Structure 1
Amino acid sequence: MYNSDGGDHVKRLRFSSRLVLAAVLAAIGSGLASAQGTFQVVTGKEFESAMPKDFYLEGNAIPTEKRNAFLLKTPAGTRALIALIDTSGYSSEVKKKYIGMLISEGDLSVCGRAMGVGSYGFGLEKPSPASNESGKFCVYDQAGAKVAECAAEKDAEIKQPRPLQVVPAK
């Protein structure tokens, strides 16, 4: 399946995934930035032991993408794991709804809503490709019920977005 500019469907999905992850970090970051102290990226054995091979959503064990994952330690000492998931081979509804997962050991604010300890899926409701409208970043519980949503602003200035990146707040 090709779009009008000659790129293939996979490239569009990768771009969408990158856009969503920027939205995820912005949505989560707004709550994290208000906490005192700093967040640390956790690597090595602690990251390896925290990273699940699959993530369970709506009755599906969906593979995680370890290369597109970060484990963060909050100023309070709790951890939050954010990763992309691989929905290829799943129903179109699952592919459309989810691109990533979040597991939190402490309270976070996502889209201005307090989220407790738990695990969540997330995705992006996108406007049509030609539109300049914002998308919606959505967070779901493991049963698939929407628990939070907020605007995901389109950033036309992104030259080559990365799938998942954690950057310090300015």
Structure 2
Amino acid sequence: MSLLKLALACALTLAPLPSLAQAAPASTAILHPADLGKLLPDAVFFRGQTATTQARNSGGIKFADGLYLVTALVDNSGYSTGIQEKYQAYLLTEVPLDFHGQKLIPGSYGIGIIKPNGSPQFVVQDIGAHDLFTVDAATDAKLHRPTPLQVVAGEKAGSYRLYFGRNYIEFTRAE
């Protein structure tokens, strides 16, 4: 009988372990080009035509709740000069975002960095190439290895930086 009690005690002690493993909170992860193979489309629609995405110049975020932000540079050579200037990358987001007080709802957008007065500005357009907003961007002269596009964690918890070379815009997930 004591062997049966010992087995029962072990079973009751170990039974909660699988449920504890399942209850562990997921964490937010920065996604690199190698992580985006199944998420990133080969081409995206913008202003009446399609543009090929550059998988090697992509990045994203998988948030703790399983929702995504994905962005990639695009081949914008088929567009007019005015569109090419602003439409440098495609942004797909399943969560609302905040760029210096400008809210962006989930959806797909054309984005880029422009320098109208020499200072970098981040511009967001809807898929019809209509400007939604423009906010000041920054330049990071200390960035060791600038790449054409990358997403990295920001300096504050819950903030992120979207880099275009050395120019970047900092953003957070909006409420």
Q: So what's the TM-score if we normalise by structure 1? A: 0.65
Q: How does 1:24-35 map to 2 (within 5 A)?
A: none
Cα shift at 1:109: 1.4
Greater strand content: 2
Structure 2 counterpart of 1:98, from 87, 101, 113 = 87
1:80·1:104 contact (CA, 8 Å) conserved in 2?
yes
Counterpart CA distance in 2 for 1:46 and 1:146 is 30
1:110·1:148 contact (CA, 8 Å) conserved in 2?
no
Counterpart CA distance in 2 for 1:149 and 1:140 is 9
Relative distance call for 1:89 and 1:142 in structure 2 (3 A) is closer
Residue 115 of structure 1 corresponds to which residue in structure 2?
104
Residue 148 of structure 1 corresponds to which residue in structure 2?
133
Opposite residue 47 of structure 1, the aligned amino acid is L
Relative distance call for 1:120 and 1:44 in structure 2 (3 A) is closer
2:70·2:93 contact (CA, 8 Å) conserved in 1?
yes
Structure 1: runs of 5 or more not aligned: 1-36
Greater helix content: 1
Point out the more displaced range, 148-157 or 81-90: 148-157
Q: Secondary structure at the match of 1:166?
A: strand
Counterpart CA distance in 2 for 1:147 and 1:102 is 13
Number of equivalenced pairs: 130
Task: Specify the structure having the higher radius of gyration (Cα).
Answer: 2
Cα shift at 1:127: 3.5
Residue 65 of structure 1 corresponds to which residue in structure 2?
54
**Greater relative CO (CA pairs within 8 A, separation 6+):** 1
Residue 88 of structure 1 corresponds to which residue in structure 2?
77
Counterpart CA distance in 1 for 2:124 and 2:151 is 19
1:120·1:141 contact (CA, 8 Å) conserved in 2?
yes
Q: RMSD in angstroms over aligned alpha carbons? A: 2.6
Q: So what's the TM-score if we normalise by structure 2? A: 0.63
Opposite residue 167 of structure 1, the aligned amino acid is V
- Flag as ranges the 4+ runs of structure 1 deviating above 3 A: 42-46, 154-160
Residue 64 of structure 2 corresponds to which residue in structure 1?
75
